[in-house]
Amino acid sequence: MTIDLTGKLGGVIELLLESHSRINEAKPERYWYPLSMATYGVEEIIEALDSMCRFRTTMWEKTRKFEGLFAEYQGAKEAVMVNSGSSADLLLSFLLTSAPSHYSGPGDEILIPAVTWPTQIWSPMMAGLKVRLVDVDPETLNISLEDLERKITPRTKCLFPVHLLGNPCGMDRILEIAKAKNLIVIEDCCEALGSEWNGTKVGNFGLGASFSFFFAHHMTTMEGGMITTNSEEAAETLRILRAHGWLRNVVDPSRYAIDGPDIDPRYAFVNWGFNVRPTDLQAGFGLQQIVKLPQFNRRREVLADRFFAFIDNSRFLSRPKVSDLARPAWMALPVLVAEDSPFKRNELTRYLENEGVETRPIVTGNIARQPVAKLFKEFCDCPLPGADAVHERGFYIGLSPIISDAAMDRLLECFESFLKRF
């Protein structure tokens, strides 16, 4: 970086930033408490401009540097950046079924919680695996360990838990189950960057893990994602899958035999693949954001503690239970309305929306109740009462690290104003 952030360019960018709202996508003005707010500033913009001025905008040196910093942050040996968290799930799924690994094959089963972001489900299906939905525990929002054990069959090859909204799953028990049944574990950490289980960051418990850097997540590269793994072979396969199936970006191309003098090593294709590469503009954002990530997560923790302390004192609302072994890094603030509550979830969310507080359902709710489930009969093969509870009674609100204490005060006053009616 050769541009002085204190110079005229930085000052101009600062003025431009101050003249616009940090609320994402020009939200209606009524949302004083939005789902997400921009966390980037002058440093990220200068980093992106630097790449453009150097004419190095596609995947280049900054991507490799960011991958190294991210692996170091995670405590993983390898990190492979892609263009989104969904693409990270996609490549992880194809890692399972593609040569040379062949951890599983077409028709093998993978167990995934019924409450998750849908691309965690579509990705294994696209890779030829059969998805079996596992119920969730509405008290934690995470995969039900009891139902997980029940759903394992001789065809099951992989467990794919998600640490929903930043609350770590019970990884000790999941690993015990996997070891006893000889199953592979991969983790979806797209909503849980920085969360820990028993002192270890989530994403370090299986073959690999996916992360997302979407606008509203713990750190952002606008769109962007990452896969981490402790297997060099897996990382090389992921790099090949990431870019067309060619050798161009692998660390050690000598391990791949190229037969025939007619094959140009610059255009040697050794597998099938996609084009889900990131840009150096995204990686440049990541270089600056990962430095800010610890302070972002500390601020999220302070705000979440205040909000959940209020919820804990509420008769009709609850927050997810957290294991004594877990340290969440909350991406958002999930709430469940009690089954015996005198009001419905939609009454509360309608009130909050009218008061300027943006809300969302807890991701898909029960995916088996979404319209898309009609296309996949296997989604409806068993009851999912925990997922139904989350579907009918759960919602979440935003948790931006730049939300002020005053805004949190006002948010709690909104909840109090609604609850005092009952």
Point out the catalytic residue in the list 163, 217, 218, 391: 217
Asked whether residue 23 is domain-assigned, the answer is no
Q: For 68, phi and psi rounded to 5 degrees?
A: -65, -45
Residue 396: CB atoms within 10 A of its CB come to 22
Look at residues 227, 283, 216, 291 and name the one whose alpha carbon lies nearest to residue 93.
Answer: 227
Does residue 303 sit in the same domain as residue 233?
Answer: no
Q: What is the CATH number of the domain that holds 365?
A: 3.90.1150.10
d(CA 353, CA 358): 5
Does residue 242 sit in the same domain as residue 340?
Answer: no
> How do 109-113 and 130-134 pair as beta strands?
parallel
Which of 284, 303, 336 represents a domain boundary (last residue)?
284
Written as six digits, the tokens of 181 are: 């049944």
Q: In terms of residue numbers, what domain contains 381?
A: 293-419
- With vertex at residue 157, the alpha carbon angle to CA 256 and CA 257, rounded to the nearest 5 degrees, is 5
Would you call 217 a catalytic residue per the annotation?
yes
pLDDT, residue 349, reads 98
In terms of residues, how long is the chain? 422
Which of 219, 251, 284 represents a domain boundary (last residue)?
284
Q: What is the CATH number of the domain that holds 196?
A: 3.40.640.10
d(CA 124, CA 9): 46
Domain count, the chain: 2
pLDDT beneath 50, residues of the chain: 1-2
User: Who contacts 280 (Cβ-Cβ below 8 Å, separation ≥6)?
Assistant: 51, 56, 57, 58, 59, 60, 61, 62, 63
pLDDT, residue 281, reads 97
Which of 225, 257, 284 represents a domain boundary (last residue)?
284
pTM here is: 0.95
Alpha helix (H) ranges present in 200-344? 232-242, 280-312
Does residue 323 sit in the same domain as residue 341?
Answer: yes
Amino acid in position 151 = K
d(CA 6, CA 246): 42
pLDDT, residue 1, reads 47
